Amino acid sequence: MNNQNPKQGTLGERPARGDALNSNVQNSNVQSSNRLRNARQNAPGIESGRAPGAQNRSNPNKDNRTTPMQHPSGSRPPGQPAGQRSAPGVGASRTGGYRPVQMSGSRQTNQSRRMSAPYRGEDYSQMSPEQAAAESRRRAEARMADQRRKLVEETRRRKEEKQRKRVIIGTVTVFAALALIITVTVIILRVAVMPKSQSGAPVDSTTLDPFAPSIETDADGNIVYPDMETVGEGETPADIPIEVPVNAVDDVTEAAPQPPAETTWENYTFNFKADISMYEEYMNPKGDEYLTLINSTHKLEPDYVPDDLVDIIDTRQDGRAVQQIRLYAAKSLEAFLIEARAQGYNDVTVTSGFRNYNYQSQLFNARLLQYSYLGDEKAYAAASKIVAVPGTSEHQSGLCCDMHNLPAADVSFGDTPAGKWMAANCHKFGFIIRYPEGKTDITGITYEPWHFRYIGRYHACKIYERGICLEEYWTSLGRS
């Protein structure tokens, strides 16, 4: 029986068309297998998908070996027995590289896009694994360097901001300290130059009790400016000192000539800058009509009111009522202020003149009300140090006035140019400083450079020449 395949031709015949195709397929598979094996050997680490020496993360104890990939034809490499694994380095390298991951869909598309995206002119798809790793390190180092640079800049900015704040705070502190030092220095100097007689000066009642009621205004609705007389019941003048201080020489206008032993009203003559000859009669009256002493021991009757009161044309224009004093005193005051303006002192005005007994009582009672929380005796003592007891105030006589160029009466007026000139020249017009400095123990009243009393030129010059107060002059005349 012939066992030959019927489809196979005889010797020398050409093989059939199907046999030729099978042979070509087998040869193609063998060639593909050889090419794949060569590619694996030339690209080490492709199958492992890890860097050389990397351990298996899922199982650290498992040997980091690469399972040989199946050939497309299903066969193993030539010369390898069935079931035998490829040795390291044969068919698969363990020296590093990346294992391609089979992905499908959008993940594979995005992966390919990231790998092929250019970075600073580079293209990952054109790099070897070593170049890609180096580029990744370079990128990481660049990011770290940029972060360090930003951190250094932020630290420097914060230090500069803190330094600016320190400079500003230091500058403000220095200026505040300088202002405080200047303020304290001014206060100390002012206290140092303050006259000794001011140590016992009366204090405004508002500084004693912030809840004390305010003083009522007068009938005309004007603010009340009480005098600062500090007289009390039963007080008597102290003994007259033996030595009498001599006042400074008048160097503003022509000095008063030294009167002869027997002085008369006509011996005192002065040359003034302004023409005030029409007032000579009033400045230099004859007789002693205006030489009166009014204090705690020489009181006025409650119903006493002068019958020759006239308006003062130089009353301060701040809403207060026009002040009044007696005729001779008012005319002499006009001459006094005319000469003051001729000397350049234009801002001196009269703030207070005549006060009747009832008005003085209102002022005193208002002070008593303010100090009522101290008790009857202490309230009376405190009030009498600020407002004269009714009947003991010179303002009731109509022969005195308060005048200055300050917002309110203050001892500092005596240190102003206007205050100095008026103190040095008031006797030429028949006035005296009623409560001079250093005579508080005698007058019972603290120094008041704004309080001027009219007594006539003759007696005023006598008092000025001897440097005494009215109480001392009164006693020198043998009057009680």
Q: What pTM was computed for the model?
A: 0.47
Residue 118 three-state SS? strand
Greatest Cα-to-Cα distance within the chain, rounded to the nearest angstrom: 198
Cα 29 versus chain centre, distance: 96
Per-residue pLDDT for the chain (480 aa), expressed as one digit of tens each? 444 454 444 444 555 555 555 566 566 666 666 776 766 666 554 444 444 444 444 444 444 444 444 444 444 555 555 555 544 444 444 444 555 555 555 555 555 555 555 445 556 667 788 888 888 888 899 999 999 999 999 999 999 999 999 999 999 999 999 999 999 988 888 887 754 434 344 434 433 444 444 555 555 555 454 444 443 444 434 443 434 344 443 444 444 455 444 445 556 778 899 999 999 999 999 888 999 999 889 999 999 999 999 999 999 998 899 999 999 999 999 999 999 999 999 999 999 999 999 988 898 898 888 888 888 888 888 787 777 788 889 999 999 999 999 999 999 999 999 999 999 999 999 999 999 999 988 888 888 999 999 999 999 999 999 999 999 999 999 998
Cα 451 versus chain centre, distance: 40
Helix axes 376-384, 357-370, angle to 10 degrees: 130
**CATH for 208-476, options being 3.20.20.60, 1.10.1510.10, 3.30.1380.10, 3.40.190.10:** 3.30.1380.10
Q: Does the annotation mark 448 as catalytic? A: yes
Residue 356 neighbours by CB distance under 10 Å: 17
Residue 300 neighbours by CB distance under 10 Å: 18
In contact, 77 and 91? CB cutoff 8 Å: yes
- Token digits for 335? 């001459």
For residues 435 and 195, what is the distance between their CA atoms, to the nearest angstrom? 14
Closest of 250, 256, 201 to residue 229, by C-alpha: 201
376 residue type, one letter: D
For residues 382 and 202, what is the distance between their CA atoms, to the nearest angstrom? 8
Catalytic residue among 448, 465, 471, 472: 448
In contact, 247 and 264? CB cutoff 8 Å: no
> H helices of 237-375, where?
280-283, 327-342, 357-370
Task: Spell out the residues 6+ positions from residue 197 whose beta carbon is closer than 8 angstroms to its own.
Answer: 437, 438, 440, 446, 447
For residues 66 and 49, what is the distance between their CA atoms, to the nearest angstrom? 9
Domains of the chain, by residue range, sit at 121-193, 208-476
